[in-house]
Amino acid sequence: MTSADGTFPAASRTQPLVDPFGRAISYVRVSVTDRCDFRCVYCMSEDMAFLPKADILSLEELDRLCSAFVRMGTRKLRLTGGEPLVRRNIMELVRSLGRHLRDGSLEELTVTTNGSQLAKYADDLRAAGVRRINVSIDTLDPDKFARITRWGRLPQVMEGLAAAKAAGLEVKINAVALKGVNDGEFDDMLRWCGAQGFDLTLIEVMPLGDIDGTGGGETRAEQFLSLSEVRRDLSKRWTLEDIDYRTGGPARYVRVKETGQRLGLITPLTHNFCESCNRVRITCTGTLYMCLGQEDAADLRAPLRASADDALLDQAIRAAIQRKPKGHDFVIDRRRAPSVGRHMSVTGG
């Protein structure tokens, strides 16, 4: 039951979601579209086939689905894509979900973006209750940026970052570590993030989906760069202090003493984070993936559309969480196909 303004009185909230290993599911990443105005080499093929509109959840359906998870104890929602800010009328959804922030049932509403639309939306995001965003930038070299993103322009993203800062949004830069592509730039990125007041998170490339012509290698094995090695190398020039800071996501953070900013490391291959996983992902079609590195999934679109009542939806969600595995099966191997066949853009970045 919701009140007239769509919020959840405390007495009406249902039992929280807990998986078979005792992990409470408090963080949901929701893809609002599979479309993007970039074609990043580690995320999707250049010639992607996108989903027909009828398969995509409406903004109202996305709101209802997110709200069901909030009712079950989700404290953090992250909107992803594709590129979430290219979804038509996306701010209607963001503003609507903001009601859960105002009534205290949701702790944080965040967005992961490529930054291309931030100049347009930064002020609106802040007004809707978003306080923190992740922006994906893998290089500060404009030519290399164009090669990695295929369609992206670095000056457009920099303009968006300036708008985000002016709006008062906290910014974290996400960079996928790509061997032979950006592995010589991490010092420059640390210095730039320090000067801008941004945190930086480095991410190991994940074996998701077949890729083509990357410019840095044509297989995941050729792209892969161990962040354990990266940290050892950075430690020769920077003072990296272990800290307890957590955002609810998989990154482990250190403080860069010279800049005062944080450096996060997401290491699904060299040091997986499955033991404390509190996350699930929902695609723009309403498919729930209990683990990024597994193919098992649950269809939430059917129960969502079957009834205006949430009983069937709640039942489907709870049944799916009981199938959440202990960990992923990611393996980087030249001789093997990607561990998971779907592209990152399909799952939700």
> Which residues does the annotation place in the binding site for S-adenosyl-L-methionine?
42, 82, 136, 206
Dist CA 125 CA 164 (whole Å):
9
C-alpha count within 13 angstroms, C-beta hemisphere, residue 213: 6
Identify which of 123, 41, 141, 53 has the alpha carbon closest to the alpha carbon of residue 85: 123
> Which residues does the annotation place in the binding site?
29, 36, 40, 42-43, 78, 82, 112, 136, 172, 206, 274, 277, 279-281, 291
- Order of strands, sheet of 262-266, starting from the edge strand that comes earlier in the sequence: 240-242, 252-256, 262-266, 199-204, 170-177, 132-136, 108-113, 76-80, 27-31, 279-282, 287-289, 297-299
The one-character DSSP state at 331 is -
Tokens of 314: 């709640």
Identify which of 232, 149, 219, 223 has the alpha carbon closest to the alpha carbon of residue 180: 223
Dist CA 167 CA 78 (whole Å):
19
Q: Is the sign of the CA dihedral 57, 63, 66, 67 positive or negative?
A: negative
Dist CA 307 CA 231 (whole Å):
51
> Which residues does the annotation place in the binding site for [4Fe-4S] cluster?
36, 40, 43, 274, 277, 291
Tokens of 13: 């909230």
Instruction: Burial-class residue 173 by CB neighbours within 10 Å (0-12, 13-18, 19+).
Output: buried
- The residues, ordered by sequence, that sit 6+ positions from 139 with a Cβ below 8 Å of its Cβ are 145, 148, 175, 181, 182, 185
Query: How many other C-beta atoms can be found within 10 angstroms of the C-beta atom of residue 314?
Result: 16
> Which residues does the annotation place in the binding site for GTP?
29, 78, 112, 172, 279-281
Q: Identity (one letter) of the amino acid at 52?
A: P
- The residues, ordered by sequence, that sit 6+ positions from 45 with a Cβ below 8 Å of its Cβ are 39, 209, 210, 211, 212, 343
